[in-house]
Amino acid sequence: MIDRTAADLLAALTRGDLTSEAVTTAFLQAIRQREPKVQAFLHVDEAGALDQARAIDTRRQGGDAVGPLGGLPIAVKDVLCVRGQPTTCGSKMLAGFRPPYDATVIVKLRRAGAVLLGKTNMDEFAMGSSTENSAFRATRNPWDLGRIPGGSSGGSAAAVAAGEAPLALGSDTGGSIRQPAALCGIAGLKPSYGRVSRYGLIAFASSLDQVGPFAADVTGLAHLLEVIAGHDPLDSTSVDRPVPAYAQTVDQPLRPLTVGVPREYFGGGLDPEVERAVRAALAEYEKLGATVKEVSLPASPHAVATYYLVATAEASSNLARYDGVQYGHRAKDVSGPIADEYGRLVAMYCRTRGEGFGREVKRRIMLGTYALSSGYKDAYYLKALKVRRLIKDDFDRAFAACDVVAGPTAPTAAFPIGEKADDPLAMYLSDIYTISANLAGICGVSIPCGFTKGGLPIGLQLQAAPFEEEKLLRAARMYERATDWHTRRAML
């Protein structure tokens, strides 16, 4: 049961061949068996999930509507607020925090009849590319337990890849859905900025963050995106546009289809095995009747520098609230040679943030504070905003000539745990192909397109213009239907 796709399970539930309780029990059993190896979850709500499943079964048996996801289990990244459930953002700063409200996407999942399994591990405050920066544990890649699953949504990706959940939610600030999807051999989608509400998403960089789905295949992505997308009056950045019927159109091929291939995506740093797999995928599109043509994104080499100025500046601002007074952890021991109340207050601030934040979060706060400081804001932050506009303009020109832009999702397959932990720049370059989509506000998807000789998954990234998720999913599904990479499962 746990190897079936979300669409297959949903069809079986709708026909009455399976009950939600049986499906949920199967995935909870998989979690109990596999979690000691994978460590994808920070919290599993076993009793709550079974109660939800039984309630949905009762409604279905009584002839009541159960919603488009009626009875399907789902895992949720620990960056999203779930009422009454531990929500830590992978940080000691929020240890023990239980939100009094649901994020909008959680409200939509409940209305759609999804069964919430629990909260998945992540890099602290979504800052990282490997899920090694969690304050609680390092998640492992189900294909090779000695390697990283990607990040920051590595827990959600690993849960789906390990058969611990058929669907999962993550967040993507610079590739945090697409990169772990690629490294774990599953499908992951970053929607356009404003397509999905950010209300209840604990912020890293507010102009870049976006909630999106993980699934074993593109059809699963379509089902989940259709539920969570749409305007939200609680989020001022949410765009009021109709939500297409993604799940109904995903199997309709795009004809004609023009695939743009940026010449800048095939330079130094790209692993030869990854390049071969991506080139083979492009050849497959040609067999399917698509036109594959070269395009240029000339500002893309500056994307990493631009991202790490914009993102860290916004992080510095967003995380200022965690000071021991307003939110989060508060240092208890402020003893020592402190002369006055002012000194004790400063000591409390310093020790609170020193104890509550991990090394990577501190690094990014300091980088962002420096970039926004007097005398440096014009030279760094404002210039980065100008380059961000150039990156968006590049994509606009590319999409005038093609339907989707294709290339690698990540420059390499999953690397060993700890290999890049002491080399931040090397870690940041893991997102070199994904961060541009966040800077430009466009949508992107990663789907499996092969394996290395060592048996590690490789991802193909497709990107489309803002709010063209329907086109993006259809283009991705065309390749998926013609290949079997998405049917491979990690053996645990």
- Average pLDDT over the chain reads 96
Place of tokens 């063209």: 468
Number of structural domains found in the chain: 1
Task: Report the pLDDT value the prediction gives residue 338, as an integer from 0 to 100.
Answer: 62
Task: Report the pLDDT value the prediction gives residue 193, as an integer from 0 to 100.
Answer: 98
- For β-strands 404-408 and 187-190, DSSP reports them as unpaired
Q: Each residue of 294-336: pLDDT tens digit?
A: 999 999 999 999 999 999 999 999 999 998 888 789 988 776 6
* Mean per-residue pLDDT, 406-419: 97
Asked whether residue 23 is assigned to any structural domain, the reply reads yes
Which range marks the domain in which residue 109 is found? 6-254
Q: Among 124-133, 303-312, 373-382, 476-485, where is mean pLDDT lowest? A: 373-382
Q: Each residue of 228-280: pLDDT tens digit?
A: 999 999 999 999 999 999 999 999 999 999 999 999 999 889 999 999 999 99
* Mean per-residue pLDDT, 188-216: 98
Q: Each residue of 65-94: pLDDT tens digit?
A: 999 999 999 999 999 999 999 999 999 999
Cα distance between residue 430 and residue 152, in whole Å: 12
Task: Report the pLDDT value the prediction gives residue 268, as an integer from 0 to 100.
Answer: 86
Task: Report the pLDDT value the prediction gives residue 229, as an integer from 0 to 100.
Answer: 98
Asked whether residue 24 is assigned to any structural domain, the reply reads yes
Query: 256: cis peptide before it, omega within 30°?
Result: yes
Cα distance between residue 33 and residue 51, in whole Å: 21
Q: Each residue of 32-61: pLDDT tens digit?
A: 999 999 999 999 999 999 999 999 999 999
Q: What SS3 string covers the chain?
A: CCCCCHHHHHHHHHHCCCCHHHHHHHHHHHHHHHHHHHCCEEEECHHHHHHHHHHHHHHHHCCCCCCCCCCCEEEEECCECCCCCCCCCCCHHHCCCCCCCCCHHHHHHHHCCCEEEEEECCCHHHCCCCCCCCCCCCCCECCECCECCCCCCHHHHHHHHCCCCCEEEEECCCCCCHHHHHHHCCEEEECCCCCECCCCECCCCCCCCCEEEEECCHHHHHHHHHHHECCCCCCCCCCCCCCCCHHHHCCCCCCCCEEEEEHHHCCCCCCHHHHHHHHHHHHHHHHCCCEEEEECCCCHHHHHHHHHHHHHHHHHHHHHHCCCCCCCCCCCCCCCCCCCHHHHHHHHHHHHHHHHCCHHHHHHHHHHHHHHCCCCHHHHHHHHHHHHHHHHHHHHHHHHHCCEEEEECCCCCCCECCCCCCCHHHHHHHHCCCHHHHHHCCEEEEEEEEECCCCCEEEEEEEECCCCHHHHHHHHHHHHHHCCHHHCCCCC
Residue 196's pLDDT band, with cuts at 50, 70 and 90, is very high
Asked whether residue 195 is assigned to any structural domain, the reply reads yes
For residues 195 and 229, the answer to whether their CB atoms sit within 8 Å is yes
pLDDT over 70 at 411, yes or no = yes
Task: Report the pLDDT value the prediction gives residue 325, as an integer from 0 to 100.
Answer: 86
Asked whether residue 279 is assigned to any structural domain, the reply reads no
pLDDT over 80 at 441, yes or no = yes
Asked whether residue 318 is assigned to any structural domain, the reply reads no
Asked whether residue 346 is assigned to any structural domain, the reply reads no
Cα distance between residue 477 and residue 81, in whole Å: 31
Asked whether residue 162 is assigned to any structural domain, the reply reads yes
How far does CA 263 lie from the centroid of its chain?
A: 26
* Mean per-residue pLDDT, 351-355: 92
For residues 26 and 9, the answer to whether their CB atoms sit within 8 Å is no
Cα distance between residue 44 and residue 491, in whole Å: 22
Residue 422's pLDDT band, with cuts at 50, 70 and 90, is confident
pLDDT over 90 at 386, yes or no = yes
pLDDT over 70 at 337, yes or no = no
∠ CA 97-158-446, rounded to 5°: 110
* Mean per-residue pLDDT, 169-190: 98
Asked whether residue 480 is assigned to any structural domain, the reply reads no
- What's 112's domain CATH number? 3.90.1300.10
Tokens of 209: 């963050």
Question: So which residues are the catalytic ones?
Answer: 77, 152, 176
Query: CA gyration radius for the chain?
Result: 22
Cα distance between residue 109 and residue 71, in whole Å: 11
Q: Rounded to two decimals, what is the model's pTM?
A: 0.96
